[in-house]
Homo-oligomer: A and B are copies of this chain.
Amino acid sequence: MRPDGRRPDQIRVPQITPGFIRYAEGSVLWRAGDSVVLCNASFDDKTAPFLRGSGEGWVTAEYAMLPRATDTRGDRRPSGRSQEIQRLIGRALRAAVRRDRMGERSIIVDCDVLQADGSTRTASVSGGWVALVLALARLHEQGVMPEWPLAAQVAAVAVGLVGGEARADLDYGEDFDCDVDLNLVYTAGGRLVEIQGTAEGRPFTRGELEAVLEVGWVGAQQVLAAQREVVAPRLDELGLSFPLDR
């Protein structure tokens, strides 16, 4: 039995507030339990320096925690942990677009954790995807990005092994007790975009990895559904189809 009564494969259903910030091309407040992440997608009229002349666009991410997002106050300097996480988010979101259709333009997705109660990096990927799509929709509507570049729906879920049991979307208390912690990024078609798992305390077997992937996919589907509820009406409005298959 989990502390808050959830089943092992049950996530904290995210409350998604689109348009939280009015300036950003795409903005979402993502709240899952007590984890609260503000995801803002901003447009930039240039692609990444190493892509100049290629005709391709770029998607990147920044991740940071407010100093008091956690139980004790941290400082504002970017940490190695932030660096690692924002690289993961960037890779995951790039998998959602066809960069050759973006033109030489960029989207930067800022994921700022206002409150952290576990699984903030997966919340950032999932919320970042919604912010990204809302931004692409606005830019497409405005004619700034004439080709529609969205290629995949992407959602992330954290799965931990606690006392041998695979559990989805750990909160901070469960995270503290778990031996193994995997972050899984899925497409709506059930493929993996990223898998990142660590077992500092106790290495895990192939069998345990299987169990984690089972629970992860069940959890991811719940996230995918929550995203779809917010994003689908907006795409409908623009006559764009929802990416389902990849």
Whether B40 pairs with A70 at a CB distance below 8 angstroms is: no
At the interface, yes or no: A163 with Cβ under 8 Å from chain B? no
At the interface, yes or no: A66 with Cβ under 8 Å from chain B? yes
At the interface, yes or no: A169 with Cβ under 8 Å from chain B? no
Max count, chain B CB within 10 A of own CB: residue among A22, A40, A68, A186: A68
CB distance from A181 to the nearest CB of B (A): 10
At the interface, yes or no: A192 with Cβ under 8 Å from chain B? yes
Known: A40-B67, A67-B62, A114-B21. A187 touches B200 (CB 8 A): no
CB distance from A153 to the nearest CB of B (A): 11
CB distance from A185 to the nearest CB of B (A): 9
- CB neighbours (8 Å) of A171 from chain B are none
Max count, chain B CB within 10 A of own CB: residue among A22, A64, A196: A196
- CB neighbours (8 Å) of A246 from chain B are 203
CB distance from A104 to the nearest CB of B (A): 18
Q: Which of B64, B78, B198 contacts A194 (CB 8 A)?
A: B198
> In the complex, A190→B206 CA distance in Å?
8
CB distance from A18 to the nearest CB of B (A): 14
Q: Which of B21, B114, B193, B199 contacts A68 (CB 8 A)?
A: B21
Q: Which of B68, B83, B193, B204 contacts A84 (CB 8 A)?
A: B83
Scoring A residues 46 to 84 as 1 if CB is less than 8 Å from chain B, else 0, what string do you get?
A: 000000000000000010101111110100101011011
